[in-house]
């Protein structure tokens, strides 16, 4: 019971933070320029951030992530209680919630939506819900989720995009022989309980949303949310054009401002340049298998070489050169917005002398050669690698840069046919379990295809997935990070914010560290 | 003008084997590219099971001959398959995007002719003069400036600063579309008009020195008649051929222009499809463009035959 009260308390606190205190202008239209269009507006079958980051405007989950991305607040559920054995959760649903078309949301919709998301045959995100056994409706406002094993992250998983609640009847009535085909047709005209309802979509041009008149949420002053009448997402892939359109006032906001333009936009009196704390980490992925795919010996199999490579990168200088001081150094392989992150100090502070002596110890006193895959045409990757090339040349590491396009790189990477590549990662859930399962837990995808394996880490991770005691879990994640960071199969470079710019008239937009673009509290002031 | 129906039908039939050859070659070529649609779609994190599931769903795990058979069978039913990335029918995607590019290229071709023809005349009639050099130098700059850079320059000046045109996008109705596509079409037209202008100028200079023009003048025909009937008609023939041959290049240029100006055309669809290794879209779009270019070549030949009685058709 103490646990429940604690949860409710943090929930109440979070709601107060989320909603703007000052009265916002109601009405109006906001045009937001995105670098790429969405692909599939179904929360279960989508697989890309272009979908994930905006579906939360159409669909709600039982719980909602807080603005700092670390916790949850009530959504379509108002309370939850875990059984003493941790094997079932009783969830109280919010009453009077309607879908955008006016039909009431029922407990059956909830049961069906959660079971669809947890079905291992559906999509690629069901791994976040493997503990779920079944969902039962026990009262019109209550569902009970039965688990196969205790799951400390269940509530956070119920605040993640893929567990959004959809209208079962409308979905099942969509044309299509299989669930995936139904998802496609349903997602052409998505229907949810979110703050906005879908109006129209011309692929790669524009998507129009309008206020959901039936939305359940009010702001702190008791005013009905959302404020905006309409949102239009327009797709403008070219960075320079997207910014020109914002400067000309043809759009109200634009995402992915290149770091090189951040200072210029900050100085523009008409614009509000925003840098949202994120879970985005940027790093080099190293192949650490004893030999490369061509059979030659891999120097990076030696932990000392990996340590040397890490020490030889001056992260502060790199951040200045590549991100114009927008990013910040990392303390672990996970971002500072990820719960349980180890913050005991910067990872591998720059030390060229130490790097040289480590290389000498490993038998590479005369240096070594490595090749890194780079995305052809990517200004960021070129800047990162030419800077690292310079830094490494000081300690005798000769870096060759091989430019390839994205599908080529992904194919080589998946086949383990690479020495090194530039990578990025963002969390989808407010918990370290996702990033650890990819980076450090080798049975998943060989620790991000590096070939790195630590059996002890695997055991600790498996135990942490069932550990209900928050203190013990924190200790487990500290242990995992310490072991991993000793001689990691990556070079952590920096964590970078989400760069978004708006006209000064736009208020109340939020992008949380998980990336979700939240327009519920956005308004355009006159 | 001896253009026979038989000639047109014959030329149309000649397109069929070319078309089939392109189909086979492209079907194989896209699959020889490193990388595959599934891993491009699912990205770095996907598990092997997820990749296998998507591959099976799109039949990509089957032998290439089987895949080609499936493609052919649906092709003859008028179905080009579904896009792997967009998850919508390829034919629908092409039909929604190709008209945009056709509009853009037609406007660009028109603009380049409008710019090239009068200036070619001025340059040719005063060939060797300062005016001639200035016109040729001006077009040379247009020709040698990279399209994407030219696009950004025009956008910054005419759209962002002067507000004469919108910054990219595609309008709702005809007039609005013309307004939106003017700058991108101009960007495309500048390099083509340079090629056309140079070519036309040289052929006018050549024709002006021909004996039949001297003869026409000697007969006492008015300068306007000499220029219009004898000079232009003869000088324009190689230029028409050149314009026809360059339509393919215009489509190529549209790939970049559409990205810079956020125009939702076939060029941007192609770029996206290549980077996503979206095999059905790459193939469908290539076939559509091949068909269009073949038709443009046919029309070029017919126009040439109409202008030049020596070319039999």
pLDDT digits (tens, 9 = 90+) for A306-330: 999 999 999 999 999 999 999 999 9
Mean pLDDT of B180-185: 91
- Cβ neighbours of B47 in A, within 8 Å: 124, 444-445
Decide: A512 and A64 in contact? Cβ < 8 Å. Answer: no
- Of B44, B167, B259, nearest to A245 by CB-CB distance is B167
Q: How far apart are CA A42 and CA A277, in angstroms?
A: 26
Decide: B213 and B240 in contact? Cβ < 8 Å. Answer: no
Of A397-401, B179-183, B203-207, B226-230, minimum mean pLDDT range:
B226-230
Contact between chains at B39 and A407 (C-beta distance less than 8 A): yes
Contact between chains at A407 and B275 (C-beta distance less than 8 A): yes
pLDDT band with cut points at 50, 70 and 90 for residue A335: very high
To test the contact with chain B by mutation, choose from A189, A248, A418 the residue with the greatest count of B C-beta atoms within 10 A, namely: A248
Closest CA to A60 of A191, A165, A143: A165
Closest CA to B192 of B139, B228, B235: B139
Q: Which helix (H) or strand (E) holds A283?
A: strand A281-286
CATH code assigned at B177: 1.10.3720.10
Query: Would you call B312 exposed, middle or buried from its count of C-beta atoms within 10 A (0-12, 13-18, 19+)?
Result: exposed
> How many Å lie between the alpha carbon of B168 and the closest alpha carbon of chain A?
7
- Of B87, B168, B275, nearest to A405 by CB-CB distance is B275
For residue A372, list its beta bridge partners: A401
Closest CA to B275 of A464, A378, A47, A431: A378
Instruction: Enumerate residues 6+ apart whose C-beta is below 8 A from A10.
Output: A71
Mean pLDDT, chain A, integer: 92
Q: How far apart are CA B103 and CA B97, in angstroms?
A: 10
> Is B170 within a domain?
yes
Of A35-49, A206-220, A418-432, minimum mean pLDDT range:
A35-49
- Cβ neighbours of B276 in A, within 8 Å: 407
Residue B241 scores a pLDDT above 90? no
> Is B49 within a domain?
no
pLDDT at A139: 96
Contact between chains at A411 and B35 (C-beta distance less than 8 A): yes
pLDDT at B3: 66
Distances from the Cα of B41 to the Cα of A2, A51, A119, A206, angstroms: 45, 13, 21, 22
- Of B47, B86, B93, nearest to A444 by CB-CB distance is B47
Of A29-43, A78-92, B241-255, minimum mean pLDDT range:
B241-255
pLDDT band with cut points at 50, 70 and 90 for residue B313: low
Q: Token digits for A93?
A: 């649903």
Query: Would you call B188 exposed, middle or buried from its count of C-beta atoms within 10 A (0-12, 13-18, 19+)?
Result: buried
- Cβ neighbours of B42 in A, within 8 Å: 47, 124
Mean pLDDT, chain B, integer: 86
Residue A6 scores a pLDDT above 80? no
> Is B54 within a domain?
no
pLDDT at A423: 94
> Is B294 within a domain?
yes
- Of A184, A247, A445, nearest to B45 by CB-CB distance is A445
To test the contact with chain A by mutation, choose from B169, B172, B184, B265 the residue with the greatest count of A C-beta atoms within 10 A, namely: B169
To test the contact with chain A by mutation, choose from B30, B36, B37, B39 the residue with the greatest count of A C-beta atoms within 10 A, namely: B39
Q: How far apart are CA A356 and CA B300, in angstroms?
A: 68
Contact between chains at B167 and A238 (C-beta distance less than 8 A): no
- Cβ neighbours of B269 in A, within 8 Å: 204
pLDDT at A33: 96
pLDDT at B2: 56
Contact between chains at B262 and A438 (C-beta distance less than 8 A): no
Q: Which domain holds residue B164?
A: 90-312
Tell me, what DSSP letter sits at residue A350? -
Share of chain B above pLDDT 90, in %: 23
- Cβ neighbours of A204 in B, within 8 Å: 264, 268-269, 272
> Is B34 within a domain?
no
- Of B39, B167, B168, nearest to A414 by CB-CB distance is B39
Q: How far apart are CA A448 and CA A454, in angstroms?
A: 13
- Of A39, A408, A423, nearest to B87 by CB-CB distance is A39
Q: How far apart are CA A195 and CA A164, in angstroms?
A: 13
> Is B189 within a domain?
yes
> Is B20 within a domain?
no
Q: How far apart are CA B117 and CA A405, in angstroms?
A: 41
- Cβ neighbours of B101 in A, within 8 Å: none
Contact between chains at B260 and A241 (C-beta distance less than 8 A): yes
* Comparison of pLDDT for A422 and B35, the residue scoring more: A422
Number of domains in chain B: 1
Mean pLDDT of B43-69: 86
User: How many other C-beta atoms are found inside a 10 Å radius of the C-beta of residue A264?
Assistant: 13
Global pTM value: 0.86
Share of chain A above pLDDT 90, in %: 82
pLDDT at A2: 38
> Is B73 within a domain?
no
Contact between chains at B264 and A244 (C-beta distance less than 8 A): no
């Amino acid at each position: 019971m103490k646990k429940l009260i604690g949860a409710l308390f943090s929930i109440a606190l979070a709601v107060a933070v989320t909603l703007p205190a000052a009265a916002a202008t109601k009405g109006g239209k906001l045009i937001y320029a995105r670098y790429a269009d969405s692909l599939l507006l179904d929360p279960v079958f989508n697989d890309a951030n272009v979908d994930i980051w905006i579906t939360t405007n159409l669909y709600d989950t039982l719980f909602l992530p807080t603005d700092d991305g670390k916790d949850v607040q009530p959504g379509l559920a108002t309370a939850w209680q875990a059984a003493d054995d941790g094997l079932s959760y009783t969830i109280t649903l919010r009453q009077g919630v309607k879908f955008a078309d006016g039909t009431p949301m029922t407990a059956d919709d909830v049961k069906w939506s959660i079971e669809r998301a947890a079905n291992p045959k559906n999509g690629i995100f069901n791994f976040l819900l493997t503990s779920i056994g079944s969902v039962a409706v026990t009262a019109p406002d209550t569902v009970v989720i039965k688990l196969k094993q205790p799951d400390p992250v269940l509530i956070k998983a119920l605040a993640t995009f893929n567990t959004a609640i959809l209208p079962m009847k409308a979905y099942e009535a969509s044309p299509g022989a299989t669930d995936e085909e139904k998802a496609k047709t349903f997602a052409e005209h998505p229907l949810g309980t979110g703050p906005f309802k879908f109006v129209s979509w011309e692929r790669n041009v524009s998507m129009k949303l309008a206020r959901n008149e039936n939305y359940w949420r009010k702001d702190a002053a008791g005013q009905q949310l959302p404020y905006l009448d309409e949102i239009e997402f327009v797709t403008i892939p070219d960075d320079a054009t997207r910014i020109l359109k914002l400067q000309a006032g043809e759009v109200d906001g634009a995402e992915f401002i290149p770091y090189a333009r951040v200072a210029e936009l900050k100085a523009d009196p008409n614009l509000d340049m925003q840098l949202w704390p994120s879970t985005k980490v940027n790093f080099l992925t190293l192949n650490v298998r004893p030999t490369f795919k061509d059979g030659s010996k891999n120097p990076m199999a030696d932990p000392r070489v990996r340590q040397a490579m890490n020490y030889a990168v001056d992260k502060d200088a790199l951040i200045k050169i590549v991100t114009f001081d927008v990013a910040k150094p990392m303390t672990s392989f996970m971002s500072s917005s990820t719960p349980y992150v180890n913050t005991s100090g910067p990872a591998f502070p720059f030390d060229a002398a130490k790097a040289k002596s480590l290389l000498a110890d490993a038998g590479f006193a005369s240096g070594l050669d490595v090749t890194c895959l780079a995305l052809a045409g990517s200004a960021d990757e070129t800047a990162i690698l030419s800077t690292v090339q310079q830094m490494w040349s000081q300690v005798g590491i000769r870096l060759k840069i091989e430019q390839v396009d994205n599908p080529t790189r992904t194919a080589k990477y998946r086949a383990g046919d690479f020495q090194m590549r530039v990578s990025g990662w963002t969390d989808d859930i407010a918990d370290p379990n996702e990033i650890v399962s990819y980076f450090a837990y080798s049975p998943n995808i060989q620790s991000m295809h590096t070939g790195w394996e630590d059996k002890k880490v695997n055991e600790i991770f498996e135990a942490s997935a069932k550990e209900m005691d928050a203190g013990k879990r924190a200790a487990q994640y500290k242990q995992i990070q310490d072991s991993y960071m000793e001689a990691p199969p990556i070079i952590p470079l920096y964590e970078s914010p989400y760069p978004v710019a708006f006209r000064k008239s736009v208020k109340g937009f939020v992008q949380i560290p998980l990336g979700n673009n939240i327009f519920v509290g956005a308004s355009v002031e006159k | 003008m001896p253009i026979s129906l038989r000639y047109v039908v014959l030329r149309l039939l000649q397109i069929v084997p070319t078309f089939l050859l392109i189909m086979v070659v492209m079907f194989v070529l896209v699959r020889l590219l490193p990388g595959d649609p599934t891993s491009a779609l699912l990205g770095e994190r996907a598990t092997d099971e997820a990749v296998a599931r998507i591959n099976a769903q799109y039949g990509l795990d089957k032998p290439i001959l089987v895949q080609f058979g499936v493609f052919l069978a649906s092709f003859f039913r008028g179905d080009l398959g579904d896009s792997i990335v967009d998850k919508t029918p390829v034919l629908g995607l092409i039909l929604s995007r190709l008209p945009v590019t056709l509009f853009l290229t037609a406007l660009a071709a028109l603009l380049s002719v409008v710019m090239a023809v009068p200036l070619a005349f001025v340059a040719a009639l005063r060939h060797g003069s300062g005016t001639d050099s200035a016109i040729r130098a001006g077009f040379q700059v247009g020709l040698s400036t990279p399209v994407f850079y030219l696009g950004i320059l025009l956008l910054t000046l005419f759209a962002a600063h002067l507000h004469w045109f919108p910054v990219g996008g595609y309008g709702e109705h005809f007039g609005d579309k013309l307004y939106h596509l003017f700058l991108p079409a101009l960007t495309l037209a500048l390099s083509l008009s340079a090629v056309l202008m140079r070519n036309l100028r040289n052929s006018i200079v050549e024709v002006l020195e021909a004996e039949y023009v001297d003869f026409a003048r000697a007969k006492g025909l008015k300068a306007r008649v000499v220029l219009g009937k004898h000079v232009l008609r003869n000088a324009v023939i190689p230029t028409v051929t050149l314009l026809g041959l360059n339509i393919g290049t215009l489509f190529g240029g549209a790939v970049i222009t559409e990205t810079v100006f956020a125009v939702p055309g076939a060029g941007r669809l192609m770029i996206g499809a290549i980077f996503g290794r979206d095999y059905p879209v790459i193939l469908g779009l290539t076939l559509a463009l091949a068909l269009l270019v073949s038709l443009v070549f046919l029309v070029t030949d017919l126009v040439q035959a109409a202008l030049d009685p020596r070319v039999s058709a």
